[in-house]
């Protein structure tokens, strides 16, 4: 790169810094790992972006001891934004079992005095004494305890497995995770770690289990499969397809950790080994074949795909049988700690109408075995199978809220107490069965026998007006009897509109309409002679009407004008000539006999029209009759 | 020639009468089994009648009665729904359907007044009425073409008035009955839970998480199909995937 180019890039960088500046102050806190044994180390890292806290110290925290701290700084460029991060890491050691709260902190930014707030975090410290009771049969040799751990028996990979080439390593300096070594003596490229909440449990109890898969940051490995348990001694809940992925330090080695939280349960009593496995693929880099090749570091490496099943640490789980003594009749296998409540709606119903009881069970345990609280047998109520719905509240599916809806139907009237409901479960901490009564309200039931349900067209039975209008003692509900005729048979229930013929008929009718509309729009071919004739017919109708009206009104001029014109029109239609050309001479020349017939009419018409008045004694009605008689032979 | 035709007519009539007699005898036998309390036998009899002769509101109703008495609420409600589909305004069908739902712990699904009015005729009847109006419109349009070709005169004027009147009445009636048929059409695919319980799962796989159950007899809408799973929505808004054998379609063959 020449000097000019370097100078240009430097100026650009400065320009970006000048224009963008530093981003807003923020802080991220991280706890790694989130679950350890007593005596294990855990690191807490606070990463402050675009801010700085001098002399950052953790306050005293109950449950952990601060063993050391370190601070680092780096500048991060993301696109055009630049930020400066300060990381403060504290090394803690857990000194008691249980949940340890790392409190929220308020830090003061040294540069501008602003207050930076962190979130609280919870560290789960295992180590509760869980020595198996005397009655638990031991089916496996006792497993070696991990140093400092009195709870889960954490065994390093390969400790009890001659086939596992990964040797156990005492190195557990990285956040409490024991890092095994590969055959070459290096820290393992890939290893898995399982941590159950306890190693002693009862048959059917759900035990939360954390599964962690570590891949060394420089191992260039890839894992796409989900871990699974070896053997068939335990049932495991489904794992989420996307694990929680984060970078962690184990000793001085950086790892990428995938972690899942699930739960396991054992179907039978005894001591059983617990171990997870995961298919692993990774590429192993080789040195360049030509050491002098300047491009070797970039292109000369040969990658080799390798495959191996990675086994986790191995534990022994002590599974105890549930005691037979004191087992309630309503116990369905629920183990854990549960709270139960119930209600019922509606508060007032008619005899025969359903009441819905809703039970809610919350808590921690094996919710697959949590069934609806048992209802005591009560002749006043008829009960039906409950339906359920579950909402899980944690990733391991051991904390949840399960709701049940159960319909019951009153068989008689009055203020009826709902049947007694009880819920039984086994508390593994108290080591005894617990039966919880569920209080349910009293239901006001009207009527004394099951009424007939609403008939189609009537209001529904929930309508108060129907209830008040119902007879005091309605007949018990019964099915309407069978019908004695076959009725109108159809080959199947498919609606007509789903059949091809229906749409063929629609199309044909539509086509007919379209063709008709087209033909109407085009219309008949125009014929001038036909049009002339139509006009003459119309004129003839008008003259007939004028004759009638004039005769009735005694208007001789109008009458004879119309009568003469009617004769001309009729003859014009007959001879296909213009009506104006047909005077008496023309008519006589064409048909002398007809000329004699119409001559009196034409003469009288001329006389009346030219004189403008009618002669005395002229009978227009008589002339009207004679004219129509005159027109008849002309028409034929 | 006439005698051959008469013979064919006699053979056809005789065959049809014999068929009707057989069906009638089978119906009587199934009804007698029902009256005698042999509900399973009665249900089989009605089912065989349907398979042999087709569906009718009466047969579906009788089959539903037999299933209800035999302790199969899911199949009873399914056949009441089928009977109601064929005869929507029948009060006895609705009475027994609501009673069966009540005994199965389900809420009433009686029709509202406007639904009863809408379903006073079956869907196919509404569609037939739509076709009648459409045919009238087609005839009127053709008649209009014919009338325009008539000689001008009183006859043409009278026929023109008739055509216009028919069109004036038929077009609004066609549009109205088409809308009614659209409202009455079962555009949703419906099914009834016929097993003791339908397990709802989050995904269409056996290993998928259970998210609830539906009781026997529940009427649901089928929205999607995937292999042997159906995605359904219940009347209370819950939805999920359940296996095909747990449901029977109200209109046989729709899924």
pLDDT tens for B158-171 read 898 999 999 999 99
> Same structural domain for residues B8 and B94?
yes
Inter-chain contact B58–A487, Cβ cutoff 8 Å?
yes
In sign, the C-alpha dihedral spanning B28, B29, B30, B31 is: positive
Give the model's pLDDT for residue B57.
94
Which residues contact residue A161 at a Cβ distance below 8 angstroms, ignoring those fewer than 6 apart? Answer: A311, A314
Give the model's pLDDT for residue A411.
84
pLDDT tens for A354-379 read 888 999 999 999 998 898 898 888 88
> Same structural domain for residues B225 and B144?
no
pLDDT tens for B24-36 read 899 999 999 999 9
Inter-chain contact A492–B54, Cβ cutoff 8 Å?
yes
Cite the DSSP H helix spans in A269-311: none
A512 CB near a chain B CB, below 8 Å?
A: yes
CA A223 to mean position of chain CA atoms: 30
Given phi > 0 = left and psi -120 to 50 = alpha, else beta, which region is A600?
alpha
Instruction: Tell which of B76, B109, B142 closes a domain.
Output: B109
A493, A533, A539, A541, best to mutate vs chain B, most B CBs in 10 Å: A493
Please, are residues B81 and B74 in contact by the beta-carbon 8 Å criterion? no
> Same structural domain for residues B180 and B196?
no
Instruction: Tell which of B184, B207, B226 closes a domain.
Output: B184
Name the pLDDT band for B11 (thresholds 50, 70, 90).
low
Grouping H, G, I as helix, E, B as strand and the rest as coil, residue A392 is strand
Q: Between the CA of residue A146 and those of A170, A174, A286, A329, what are the distances in Å? A: 10, 15, 36, 42
Grouping H, G, I as helix, E, B as strand and the rest as coil, residue B166 is helix
Domain boundaries, chain A: 19-126, 127-286+301-321, 336-446, 528-635
A525 CB near a chain B CB, below 8 Å?
A: no
Mean pLDDT, residues B220-242: 89
For residue A559, the surrounding DSSP H or E stretch is helix A556-575
DSSP A532: H
Instruction: Tell me, yes or no, whether B130 lies in a domain.
Output: yes
Nearest in space to A443 (alpha carbons), one of A412, A415, A408: A415
With the CA atoms of A143, A146, A151 and A154 taken in that order, what torsion angle do they form, in degrees rounded to the nearest 10?
A: -70
Nearest in space to A259 (alpha carbons), one of A248, A250, A249: A248
> Same structural domain for residues B35 and B55?
yes
> Same structural domain for residues B51 and B14?
yes
Beta strands in A205-324 (DSSP E): 207-216, 221-222, 228-229, 235-236, 244-250, 253-265, 270-274, 276-285, 303-311, 315-320
A389 CB near a chain B CB, below 8 Å?
A: yes
> Same structural domain for residues B136 and B39?
no
Given phi > 0 = left and psi -120 to 50 = alpha, else beta, which region is A69?
beta
Given phi > 0 = left and psi -120 to 50 = alpha, else beta, which region is B57?
alpha
Grouping H, G, I as helix, E, B as strand and the rest as coil, residue A176 is coil
For residue A598, the surrounding DSSP H or E stretch is helix A592-611
User: Which portions of chain A are predicted below pLDDT 70?
Assistant: 1-23, 76-82, 127-176, 220-224, 241, 251, 280-308, 448-477, 523-531, 635-636
Grouping H, G, I as helix, E, B as strand and the rest as coil, residue A247 is strand
Q: Which residues pair with A150 in a beta bridge?
A: none
A7 CB near a chain B CB, below 8 Å?
A: no
A228 CB near a chain B CB, below 8 Å?
A: no
Cα–Cα distance, A603 to A452 (Å, whole number): 96
> Same structural domain for residues B30 and B55?
yes
Give the model's pLDDT for residue A134.
32
Cα–Cα distance, B28 to A132 (Å, whole number): 71
Number of domains chain B contains? 3
Of B68, B134, B142, the CB nearest to A516: B142
User: How is residue B8 written in tokens?
Assistant: 């064919």
Instruction: Tell me, yes or no, whether B55 lies in a domain.
Output: yes
Residues 532-591 of A with CB under 8 A from B: 534, 537-538
Please identify which residue in the block is written with the tokens 């007879």: A471
**Integer Rg of chain A from CA:** 52
Using CB atoms within 10 Å of the CB of residue A506, give its burial: 0 to 12 exposed, 13 to 18 middle, 19+ buried. middle
Inter-chain contact A486–B98, Cβ cutoff 8 Å?
no
Cα–Cα distance, B83 to B76 (Å, whole number): 11
User: How is residue A366 written in tokens?
Assistant: 């094996």
Looking at chain A, which residue has its C-alpha nearest residue B138? Answer: A513
For residue A544, the surrounding DSSP H or E stretch is helix A528-553
Using CB atoms within 10 Å of the CB of residue A189, give its burial: 0 to 12 exposed, 13 to 18 middle, 19+ buried. buried
Q: Between the CA of residue A177 and those of A20, A276, A300, A311, what are the distances in Å? A: 42, 16, 36, 15
Of A452, A509, A534, the CB nearest to B138: A509
> Same structural domain for residues B165 and B205?
no
pLDDT tens for B59-104 read 999 999 999 999 999 999 999 999 998 888 888 999 999 999 988 8
| More confident of the two residues A174 and B23 | B23
User: What is the fold of A336-446?
Assistant: Immunoglobulin-like (2.60.40)
User: How is residue A479 written in tokens?
Assistant: 């099915």
Please, are residues A328 and A424 in contact by the beta-carbon 8 Å criterion? yes
Give the model's pLDDT for residue B5.
55
Instruction: Tell me, yes or no, whether B254 lies in a domain.
Output: no
User: How is residue A351 written in tokens?
Assistant: 């005899």
A240 CB near a chain B CB, below 8 Å?
A: no
Inter-chain contact B127–A516, Cβ cutoff 8 Å?
no
In sign, the C-alpha dihedral spanning A200, A202, A204, A205 is: negative
Inter-chain contact A496–B145, Cβ cutoff 8 Å?
no
Instruction: Tell me, yes or no, whether B136 lies in a domain.
Output: yes
Of B86, B90, B141, the CB nearest to A517: B141
Please, are residues A627 and A543 in contact by the beta-carbon 8 Å criterion? no
Please, are residues A351 and A445 in contact by the beta-carbon 8 Å criterion? yes
Q: Cis ω on the peptide bond leading into residue A636 (within 30° of 0)?
A: no
Inter-chain contact A486–B91, Cβ cutoff 8 Å?
no
Beta strands in A447-553 (DSSP E): none
Please, are residues A354 and A378 in contact by the beta-carbon 8 Å criterion? no
Q: What is the DSSP string of A259-274?
A: EEEEEEE-SS-EEEEE
Inter-chain contact A486–B53, Cβ cutoff 8 Å?
yes
Q: How many CB pairs under 8 A join A and B?
A: 191
Using CB atoms within 10 Å of the CB of residue A183, give its burial: 0 to 12 exposed, 13 to 18 middle, 19+ buried. exposed
Cα–Cα distance, A570 to A587 (Å, whole number): 12
User: How is residue A564 written in tokens?
Assistant: 């003469």
> Same structural domain for residues B42 and B68?
yes
Of chain B, the percentage scoring pLDDT greater than 90 comes to 51
A475 CB near a chain B CB, below 8 Å?
A: no
Cα–Cα distance, A262 to B99 (Å, whole number): 46
Inter-chain contact A409–B105, Cβ cutoff 8 Å?
yes
Residue A103: Cβ within 10 Å count? 12
Tell whether the model's pLDDT for residue B22 goes beyond 90: no
In sign, the C-alpha dihedral spanning A362, A364, A367, A372 is: negative
DSSP A22: B
Alpha-carbon gap: B3 to the closest alpha carbon of chain A (Å): 32
Same topology, domains A19-126 and A336-446? Answer is yes
Q: Which CATH number fits domain A19-126: 1.10.3720.10, 2.40.128.20, 2.70.98.10, 2.60.40.10?
A: 2.60.40.10
Nearest in space to B252 (alpha carbons), one of A501, A487, A495, A483: A495
Grouping H, G, I as helix, E, B as strand and the rest as coil, residue B211 is strand
Give the model's pLDDT for residue B8.
53
Inter-chain contact A495–B124, Cβ cutoff 8 Å?
yes
Inter-chain contact A389–B212, Cβ cutoff 8 Å?
yes
Cite the DSSP H helix spans in chain B: 2-35, 39-53, 57-69, 73-86, 91-103, 113-118, 123-148, 154-184
Give the model's pLDDT for residue A455.
31
Cα–Cα distance, A307 to A294 (Å, whole number): 31
Q: Which CATH number fits domain A127-286+301-321: 3.40.50, 2.60.40, 2.60.120, 1.10.3470?
A: 2.60.120
pLDDT tens for A622-635 read 888 888 888 877 76
Instruction: Tell me, yes or no, whether B220 lies in a domain.
Output: yes
Of B102, B103, B138, the CB nearest to A516: B138
Which residue range(s) make up the domain with B142? 123-184
- CATH number, domain of B6, equals 1.25.40.10
Of A387, A460, A493, the CB nearest to B108: A460
> Same structural domain for residues B150 and B201?
no
Average pLDDT of chain A, as a whole number: 76
> Same structural domain for residues B234 and B142?
no
Please, are residues A230 and A276 in contact by the beta-carbon 8 Å criterion? yes
Q: Between the CA of residue A589 and those of A569, A577, A603, B134, B240, what are the distances in Å? A: 17, 14, 17, 60, 102
Grouping H, G, I as helix, E, B as strand and the rest as coil, residue A167 is strand
Inter-chain contact B145–A389, Cβ cutoff 8 Å?
no
User: How is residue A363 written in tokens?
Assistant: 């808590």
Q: Cis ω on the peptide bond leading into residue A33 (within 30° of 0)?
A: yes
Give the model's pLDDT for residue B229.
94
């Amino acid at each position: 790169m020449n000097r000019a180019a370097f100078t240009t890039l430097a100026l650009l960088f400065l320009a970006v810094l000048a224009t963008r500046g530093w981003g807003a102050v923020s802080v991220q806190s991280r706890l790694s790992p989130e679950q350890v044994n007593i005596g294990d180390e855990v690191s807490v890292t606070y990463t402050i972006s675009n801010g700085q806290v001098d002399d950052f110290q953790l306050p005293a925290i109950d449950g952990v001891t601060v063993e050391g701290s370190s601070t680092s700084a780096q500048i991060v460029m993301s696109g055009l934004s630049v930020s400066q991060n300060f990381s403060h890491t504290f090394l803690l050691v857990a000194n008691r079992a249980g949940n340890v709260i790392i409190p929220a902190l308020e830090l003061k930014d040294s540069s501008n005095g602003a207050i930076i707030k962190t979130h609280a975090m919870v560290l789960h410290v295992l180590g509760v004494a869980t020595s198996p009771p005397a009655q638990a049969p031991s089916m496996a040799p006792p497993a070696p305890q991990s140093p400092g751990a009195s709870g889960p028996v954490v065994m390093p990979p390969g400790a009890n497995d001659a086939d596992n080439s990964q040797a156990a390593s005492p190195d557990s300096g990285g956040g409490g995770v024991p890092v095994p070594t590969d055959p070459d003596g290096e820290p393992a490229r890939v290893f898995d770690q399982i941590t159950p909440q306890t190693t002693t449990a009862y048959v059917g109890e759900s035990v939360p289990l954390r599964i962690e898969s570590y891949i060394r940051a420089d191992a260039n490995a890839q894992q796409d499969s989900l871990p699974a348990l070896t053997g068939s001694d335990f049932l495991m809940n489904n794992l989420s397809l996307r694990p929680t992925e984060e970078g962690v330090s184990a000793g001085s080695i950086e790892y990428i950790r995938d972690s899942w939280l699930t739960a396991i349960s054992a179907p039978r009593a005894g001591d059983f080994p617990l171990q997870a496995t995961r298919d692993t693929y990774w590429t192993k880099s080789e040195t360049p074949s030509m050491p002098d090749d300047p491009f070797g570091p970039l292109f000369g490496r040969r990658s080799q795909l390798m495959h191996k099943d990675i086994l986790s640490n191995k534990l022994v789980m002590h599974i105890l049988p549930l005691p037979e003594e004191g087992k309630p009749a309503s116990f369905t296998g629920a183990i854990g700690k549960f709270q139960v409540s119930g209600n019922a709606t509606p508060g007032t119903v008619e005899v025969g109408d359903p009441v819905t009881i809703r039970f809610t069970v919350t808590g921690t345990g094996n919710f697959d075995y949590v069934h609806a609280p048992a209802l005591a047998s009560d002749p006043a109520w008829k009960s039906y199978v409950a339906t359920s719905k579950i909402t899980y509240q944690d990733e391991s599916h051991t904390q949840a809220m399960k709701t049940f809806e159960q319909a019951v139907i009153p068989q008689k009237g009055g203020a009826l107490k709902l049947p007694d409901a009880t819920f039984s479960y086994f508390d593994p901490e108290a080591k005894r069965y617990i039966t919880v009564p569920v209080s349910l309200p009293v239901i006001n039931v009207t009527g004394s026998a099951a009424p007939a349900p609403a008939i189609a067209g009537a209001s529904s039975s929930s309508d108060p007006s129907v209830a008040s209008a119902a007879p005091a003692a309605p007949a018990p509900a019964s099915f309407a009897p069978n019908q004695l005729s076959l009725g109108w048979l159809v080959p199947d229930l498919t609606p007509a509109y789903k059949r091809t013929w229906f749409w063929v008929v629609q199309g044909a009718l539509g086509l007919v309409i379209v063709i008709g509309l087209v033909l109407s729009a085009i219309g008949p071919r125009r014929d001038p002679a036909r049009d002339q004739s139509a006009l003459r017919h119309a004129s003839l109708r008008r003259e007939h009407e004028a004759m009638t009206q004039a005769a009735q009104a005694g208007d001789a001029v109008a009458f004879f004008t119309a009568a003469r014109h009617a004769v001309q029109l009729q003859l014009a239609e007959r001879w296909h000539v213009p009506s104006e050309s047909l005077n008496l001479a023309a008519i006589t020349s064409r048909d002398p006999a007809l000329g004699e017939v119409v001559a009196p009419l034409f003469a009288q018409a001329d006389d009346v029209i030219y004189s403008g008045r009618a002669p005395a004694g002229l009978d227009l009605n008589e002339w009207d009759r004679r004219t129509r008689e005159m027109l008849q032979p002309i028409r034929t | 020639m006439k005698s051959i035709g008469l013979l064919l007519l006699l053979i056809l009539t005789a065959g049809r009468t014999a068929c009707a007699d057989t069906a009638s005898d089978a119906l009587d036998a199934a009804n007698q089994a029902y009256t005698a309390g042999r509900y399973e036998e009665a249900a089989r009899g009605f089912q065989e009648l349907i398979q042999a002769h087709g569906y009718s509101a009466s047969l579906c109703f009788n089959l539903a009665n037999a299933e209800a008495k035999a302790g199969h609420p899911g199949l009873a409600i399914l056949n009441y729904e089928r009977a109601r589909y064929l005869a929507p305004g029948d009060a006895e069908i609705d009475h027994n359907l609501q009673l069966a739902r009540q005994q199965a712990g389900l809420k009433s699904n009686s029709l509202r007044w406007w639904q009863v009015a809408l379903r006073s005729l079956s869907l196919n009847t509404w569609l037939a009425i739509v076709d009648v109006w459409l045919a009238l419109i087609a005839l009127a349009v053709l008649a209009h073409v014919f009338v325009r070709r008539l000689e001008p005169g009183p006859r043409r004027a009278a026929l023109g008035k008739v055509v216009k009147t028919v069109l004036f009445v038929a077009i609004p009636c066609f549009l109205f009955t088409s809308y009614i048929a659209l409202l009455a059409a079962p555009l949703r695919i419906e099914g009834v839970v016929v097993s003791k319980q339908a397990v709802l799962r989050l995904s269409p796989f056996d290993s998928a998480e259970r998210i609830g159950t539906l009781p026997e007899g529940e009427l649901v809408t089928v929205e999607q199909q995937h292999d042997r799973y159906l995605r359904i929505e219940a009347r209370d808004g819950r939805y999920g995937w359940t296996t095909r054998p747990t449901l029977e379609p109200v209109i046989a063959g729709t899924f």
